[in-house]
Amino acid sequence: MKIDLEKEEHNIAKVEIEIPAKDGLDAYNRAVKSYAQHVNVPGFRRGKAPRNIIERQVGKERIIAEALETLLPSALQKVIMENKLEVLMQPRVDDYEFEVGKDVKVKATIELKPEVTLKSYKDMTVDVEEYQTPADAFDKSLDNLLSQSAKLELVVDRNTKADDIIVFDFDGYSNGEKIEHGDAKNYTMDLANSNFIPGFAEQLVDKPLDKEFDVNVTFPENYHEKKLAGQPATFKCTIHEIKQKVLPELTDEFAQKVGPFKTVDELKSDIQDYIDKQKEQADRKNIERTIMDKLHEEVEVDIHEEMIKREADSLLDEYKQKLKGQGFTWEQAVEAQGADKIMETINSDALFRIKNSLIIDKIAREENITVDQASLTAKLDSLSAMYQMDKETFAKYMFQNPSMMNNISQQILNEKVIDFLVDNNKVNFVKPKAEKKAAKTTKAATEKKSTKTSKSTKSKAKK
């Protein structure tokens, strides 16, 4: 077999193959016999009709196609093995010449895995923004815990407050027309945690019971229903019930009710441990993201447009499924955001995913990082526990789904490479940019105030 391979730009290889006439003839005859077994020819037993009869009955092109299906896999595999090609997709046949008794000539295109060049990926020093735990994080966590155990008491002798829970009726109108699905009876709302239109809940504060009043708002410009986007609206409201939260006392008895604690101090210690763990996890994520962002910036790789398109198509399918799960349609998303904007985001995400995958794969090969049986078993055990399934049943189900197993193996490999990167690079924690900017502004304001005070003092001294 003669092979002529030429690599082109954008990870494309063009190959011309000449398969000996004898091999072509053998494949053609096998295809004829195969068709003969399935075609009824009057006057002949099945499988016994001569070749010329089968050719007339079936057509030479179909027989040639069948012959090529048996010839090409091994021929293309030989091309790949002999030239040590890292193939990304199945080769595509562009053209062929198949005439019985002559060499079979095939032209094909092979999309190769992009070559990745990384200037460096270990022994680097990276500046990572350190997660800053909010000063009131502990107090908020404790308050939330108390709030979850709060009792609701009816209030009849005052107007509403910002932290009340109310039961009310509302009826909405926009531009003189009633808003479809813009009304409700005896609707319950937590005024401190409302997901209504911005400004709606705030206008329900300091309102009396059983008296109708208007709430005037404007729908956001990006509101999913285009007819209402950016439009003013009036809601006629009547509050029927006001309920206030009564928090429990922070006692040892309360601590024992909410968890495996004996005292308030044990509860507080657990809250602090949780906050510390949150910071640890946030810092770890920041480290991982910063290192990968740096590699993305410095990587040299030529990615073919077809590769991006395939990944984008996959992401688009995921996006549509997500919309469906949220009760929206693709048409509604396009109406709200615009198809161009959506596709711009999807294409950007597709390119990022491809780069990420290629970088991970490159480092895994360079450092001989692999997915062993122990890692796979541990991952499956972890997932079975998460889904509350028997380990053996879960493992059996996963092994019956090759695509799922491939995804899990890739996930394990990603985690191992990320661990390697974190362990083999130096981290220098820095303050978040927002905080740096705020500190700079505060310093400037202080200096300005100091200058003004100094000038004022001098002025008074002159007087």
The backbone torsions φ and ψ at residue 153, rounded to the nearest 5 degrees and listed phi first, read: -120, 135
Domain contains 323: yes
pLDDT tops 70 at residue 461:
no
Same domain? For 173 and 242 the reply is: yes
SS3 content of the chain, % helix, strand, coil (to 5): 50, 20, 30
Is 401 within the bounds of a domain?
no
Q: Is 268 a member of any domain?
A: yes
Residue 231: which of 215, 216, 241, 245 has the closest Cα?
A: 216
C-alpha distances (whole Å) from 136 to each of 142, 144, 267, 275, 438 are 10, 12, 17, 11, 18
Instruction: Report yes or no on 458 lying in a domain.
Output: yes
Q: Please check whether residues 224 and 279 belong to one and the same domain.
A: no
Do 327 and 276 fall within a single domain?
A: no
Could you report the per-residue pLDDT of 315-350, keeping only the tens digit for each? Answer: 999 999 999 999 889 998 898 888 999 999 999 999
Residues 207, 190 share a domain: yes
The string of pLDDT tens digits covering residues 62-71 is: 999 999 999 9
Could you tell me which residues come within 8 angstroms of residue 378 by beta carbon, excluding any fewer than 6 positions away?
none
pLDDT digits (tens, 9 = 90+) for 210-261: 999 999 999 998 887 888 999 999 999 999 999 999 999 999 999 999 999 9
| Count of structural domains, the chain | 5
The tens digit of pLDDT for each residue in 24-73 reads: 999 999 998 888 887 777 767 676 778 888 788 888 999 999 999 999 99
- 210 and 323 inside one domain: no
Residue 387 included in any domain: no
| pLDDT given at position 47 | 67
pLDDT digits (tens, 9 = 90+) for 161-207: 999 999 999 999 999 999 998 999 999 999 999 999 999 999 999 99
Q: Are 157 and 181 in contact (CB under 8 A)?
A: no
With beta carbons less than 8 A apart as the criterion, state whether 191 and 166 touch: yes
The two counts, helices (H) then strands (E), for the chain are 13, 13
Q: Is residue 393 part of a domain?
A: no
Judgement on whether residues 104 and 134 belong to the same structural domain of the protein: no
**Within 10 A of 95 (CB to CB), how many other CB atoms are there?**
9
Is the distance from CB of 238 to CB of 211 less than 8 angstroms?
Answer: yes
Q: Quick one: average pLDDT of 298-308?
A: 91
Is the Cα dihedral 245, 187, 219, 174 positive or negative? negative
State whether 218 and 208 are in the same domain: yes
Looking at residue 447, what is its pLDDT?
A: 44
Taking residues 140-157, what's their average pLDDT?
93
H or E element at residue 168: strand 165-174
If asked whether residues 133 and 163 sit together in one domain, one would say: no
Domain extent, residue 283, equals 116-149+252-290
Place 403 in a pLDDT band, splitting at 50, 70 and 90: confident
15 and 109 inside one domain: yes
Last residue of a domain, one of 325, 350, 366: 366
Same domain as 268, residue 128? yes
**Same-domain pairing of 59 and 208:** no
Do 203 and 262 sit in the same domain of this protein?
A: no
399 lies in a domain?
no
